[in-house]
Structures are given as C-alpha cells and as structure tokens.
Amino acid sequence: MIVITRFAPSPTGHLHVGNIRAALHNWLWARKSGGRFLLRLDDTDLERSRADYAASIRADLQWLGLGWDAEEKQSDRFALYEEKFQALKAAGHVYPAYETQQELELRRKILLGRGLPPVYDRAALALTPDQIAAYEAEGRTPHWRFKMDHDQPIVWTDLIRGEQRFDPKLLSDPVIRRADGSWLYMLPSVIDDVDMGVTHVLRGEDHVSNTATQIQMFVALGAPLPAFAHEALLTGSEGKLSKRLGSLGVAHFREIGLEPMAIASLLARLGSSQPIEPFTSLTPLVDSFDFAHFGRAPARFDEAELAALNQKIVHQLAYAEVADRLPDGMDAAAWDAIRPNLETVAGAADWWRVVTGPVDAPDAAQEDRDFLAAAHRILAEARFDADIWRTLTGALKEETGRKGKALFLPLRRALTGLDHGPDMGLLLPLIGRDAALARLKPGV
C-alpha cells in the first residue's frame, strides 16, 4: 500500500500555527513512509475563497520546505460530487429537509432547555406529500441531509487516541448540501479522500465527531476506510486555548526573523513524548516521526520556546546557508564572529554596522582616558594580525596593571559603543587598524 496523506485548508484566510502543524505532520508521515503528500484546497465556499489566500498557502508551505506531490481544488470537482450525491440519493442515504434556520435554532434551544442533546429529530422524514407541496408553494427549497445508520455503533481504532466509539443515535444527520445547491464540508471531503486514494487522515481532535459521521459516508459510498489520527489541539503557554494561536502564521514568523526549521523543529514534536531539539534539516524529523509518540495531553505552544529554539538553530548555520541574507561585504569570518550573539539572521546587520561604523561610543570616564590613549599608542605600533586583541590587551595589562572588567570593558565601549557583544578577538580584526585607531583616538 502506498501511503497517501493530504492537507486540505480552505483558502478563506492565511494558515495559522495549528494549520501548519497539521500540514507538517501529514508531510512527515508521507515522507517517512515513502508515500505521497497531497495539497487539496477546500474551496467549496466560493464567496469567501480567494486566489490570493490560495497563493499564500502555497507560498507558506514552500517556505517551510513542505513540497506536495499533487494539488487539487474542490471547485474543479463539482461534477464528481453531483454524481456521488445522486447515487447516495437513489440508495436512500440522503434526504431533503425544509426547516428554516430559525426553526432549527428554536428546536435546538428547546432540547437544550430540557437537558437533552441537540440532535436533529428527523422530522423531515415524516413529511407527507401535501406538506412538502405546501412548503414548495411557499417557495422553500430543501437542503439535504445524510441519513445516519442508527443500527450499529461507530467504532474505529485511532492511531493516537486508541479505540473510539460513538452511538450514531446521538449524532445529528448532517446537512451536506444547502438549499442553494452549494456543498458543505462533510461529504465532498469524503468523496475526495476516496477518489484520491487517501490512506491516512491526520487532523485535530476537534474533528473526532466529524470522523464518526464521515465513516458512515465512506461505508455508504462502498469505499474502504482510511486510517485516522486525531492529535491534541494546541494551547497557549498558559495552558488555555488562545485566540492568539489563530493569528500566528508564517507572515508573523517571517516578520520576526524566525527560521523555517525552528518552526518545524517545535511543531513536529509538540504534543509528543520526544524531546524538542534544534534541527537544521527536516530529515531527522522525518526519520523519527511516529504516531506512537503522540498522546492526548494538551500540546502547549510557547513563543518564547520557539525563539530560544530559533537562536540555537541560527548558531548552527553555516555561512553558505545564510550568505544571501547577510549585509554586503560580510564574509564567512565575520559570520563566524557574529553568529554566537545572534537571535535571528537578520540581527547580523546590526552587528555588521558595529564593524563598519560609525559607532556612537559613550564619552570615556575620566579614569579611562589615559588608559585608552595608551591603547591607541600600543595599537598604532603593534603588528595588526589575527592575534591583535591578545597583543593589545596583554601589553595594556602589563603597562597599566589592569585586568578583568577594568581592562576589557573600556576597550569594548570605545571600539563598539556597547558593553557586550561578539568575541573581541574575532571582532577587532574585522574592524581593522584604521577604524580601531580612529575609535581609540585621544579626545574622541
């Protein structure tokens, strides 16, 4: 069996962090299994679906390194849905219903008020021809529901949640088609999964009850069931569902300078028993991905953890991997010097400005002025090579008796304008003799 997974976003908005996690896990499972990963744009909502959102989804997946093997759009598949709908209708698996939204909402409130589950009562099945004729005379057009089979419990073994069991009598017959003929999510998704040969449906635990209903649709279509895996939803770092998670997406992550692999490293294992590590390649995440590692405990997403992970990844990146994102003139030696102080690659530009100048150094304290004058004299006379920092500080220590912070901090301030930063042994050769002398010049 060739494993086939799919990621099926609706192009009615941008991907958020929960979508990205689902896409990543589907991609990882397909790649680990030597299978295929499909992108399906669920754009049956023609009013809200937009081409720019679809383009954004594709761009986001590509930026994350999640290439797909084929793409489909549901809006191109309406003829197939119509064909399968008519077959289900002929077999008695779907039926028309004439209630208005207001009537359905009133029934729902009554049931809830009685402490009963708000399950549709199938009143439409009891309509007489005269009642139907009266509704149609009013101008009502029916919507269509899928008729659940109440005779057998719905049971499947979830790859994450274990055995799942539902009583179909407690599930409403879902509306699958609106009165205007447009499609809702449930049936087209199943038809597509069957037609595309999807073998594994991996999605959030908020779809568990949908799966129970859709299993009966697979059966009604005479199709084999895919394997299902429902993973715990993401929560905020405070442990509660966070609206902010719905707004965090690739645009935000790119804006703050995060690496794609930081996002992948965190989301690939979030909610699993495996350690979250700063990977610079998707390969180890593919090799280690396994549903058995995931549990039902909440998966806590913490932006601070993501930022720390990103920093560790940046510290591992070779010059060749970032050269096209660095300031003009910044070479491998400069990258090696500056990299340990970076949180993001974009931050290299700030440190490169420290190298190239000019720097806005604070006025030297009175007790440091003679010290810096001595530094200027020693630097002017010394051989300027890769060991110049050691030469300079060694000579100053011997001449002035200073050591530790008193020795190093005034020099760093004068040369960089800052109290902290990259190793001065690497930074000073990058600054160069002339610029360093200008920054140490007495009276400046």
Whether residues 117 and 262 fall in one domain = no
Residue 171 belongs to some domain of the structure: yes
Looking at residue 444, what is its pLDDT?
A: 46
Looking at residue 246, what is its pLDDT?
A: 73
Across the chain, which has 444 residues, the per-10-residue mean pLDDT values are 96 93 98 98 93 97 98 97 98 96 92 92 95 94 97 96 97 96 96 98 96 98 98 81 74 94 97 96 98 92 95 97 96 96 97 95 92 96 96 97 96 96 96 96 66
Residue 29 belongs to some domain of the structure: yes
Query: Domains in the chain: how many in total?
Result: 5
Residue 405 belongs to some domain of the structure: yes
Looking at residue 242, what is its pLDDT?
A: 61
Per-residue tokens: 144: 């269509």
Whether residues 201 and 61 fall in one domain = yes
Whether residues 88 and 157 fall in one domain = yes
CATH of the domain at 248: 1.10.1160.10
Whether residues 40 and 92 fall in one domain = no
Question: What is the residue range of 411's domain?
Answer: 357-440
Whether residues 172 and 89 fall in one domain = yes
Query: Given 314, 346, 367, which residue is the final one in a domain?
Result: 314
Looking at residue 58, what is its pLDDT?
A: 98
Residue 238 belongs to some domain of the structure: no
Whether residues 165 and 201 fall in one domain = no
Residue 251 belongs to some domain of the structure: yes
Whether residues 396 and 431 fall in one domain = yes
Whether residues 296 and 423 fall in one domain = no
Looking at residue 26, what is its pLDDT?
A: 98
Looking at residue 238, what is its pLDDT?
A: 67
pTM of full prediction above 0.85: yes
Looking at residue 59, what is its pLDDT?
A: 97
Whether residues 107 and 65 fall in one domain = no
Whether residues 299 and 338 fall in one domain = no
Residue 405 among known ligand-binding residues: no
Whether residues 16 and 163 fall in one domain = no
Looking at residue 158, what is its pLDDT?
A: 98
CATH of the domain at 402: 1.10.10.350
Looking at residue 244, what is its pLDDT?
A: 72
Whether residues 111 and 165 fall in one domain = yes
CATH of the domain at 197: 3.40.50.620
